[in-house]
Amino acid sequence: MIQPVDILAIAAHRDDVEQTCGGTLLQSSAIGLRTAILDLTQGEAGTRGTVEQRAAEAEEAAGILRASWRHALDLPDGRLENTWENRLKIAAVLRQAQPRVVILPYWQARHPDHAIAATLGYEACFVAGLAKVQTDAPPHRPFKILYASLYADVRPTFVVDITAHVEQRFQSLMAYRSQYENQPSGGKLFVPQEEIREHALALARFYGMLGGVRYAEPFVQKEIGLVEDLTIIPVQSI
């Protein structure tokens, strides 16, 4: 059941959130914030696994990430499009969930669905705030839109310290046994199972070093940040 949350992570596919901002959802939950996940597709075009397998794995992963709820839309996997109808489907969820923060994929990506999800998600956030657009819930527009940039070759605006949650984050990813256990299909596309942990920790370690912590996840925001007290800005300069 879709209920109000503080942070809603929106991704094209089941397991995208686990890879890019799962630690951030865990950290947010640890400080008392309510989180949720909206997957736009159901994975019917994936190289590995069935829709049913991925649905069960997604629910298991959501529990590990302590998400309040997880919901999947029925947008076509591999053929995600930024249409008015698709914006309305996402806007309807946004109005029910009423998040203050929405996390989207970074807008440049190898997989077209990821890039389209960034623009589609942003425009759905805008539509959700239009009073004359009718859905079952009243208008709501998120205050902050962030882009999870773990796999983008860009300098992040900020990183989130996930050191305390890095093991749990990894467990949420490995809940997708249909995707990450070694198997013949997609062998050249997927990281070998025995290397996934090293790969995941290496990325998180790199972004952690940028922020002066052990492990972190990176994010980009398009707007300028605002600082009131220069003496409490984190991360030492020299």
Q: What is the pLDDT of residues 10-68, one digit of tens each?
A: 999 999 999 999 999 999 999 999 999 999 998 786 667 788 999 999 999 999 999 99
Q: Could you tell me the residue ranges of all domains in the chain?
A: 7-232
Q: What is the pLDDT of residues 174-233, one digit of tens each?
A: 999 887 875 555 455 666 777 889 999 999 999 999 999 999 999 999 999 999 999 999
Angle at 103 between CA 58 and CA 187, to 5 degrees: 45
What does the pLDDT read at residue 181? 72
> What's the CATH code, domain 7-232?
3.40.50.10320
Q: What average pLDDT does the segment 144-172 reach? A: 97
**69: pLDDT strictly greater than 80:** yes
Q: What average pLDDT does the segment 113-137 reach? A: 95
Q: Is 102 helix (H, G, I), strand (E, B) or coil?
A: strand
DSSP string covering 17-82? HHHHTHHHHHHHHHTT--EEEEEEE--TT-SSS-HHHHHHHHHHHHHHTT-SEEEEEEEPTT----
* pTM, two decimal places: 0.93
Whole-number average pLDDT of the chain: 93
- 122/187 Cα distance (integer angstroms): 34
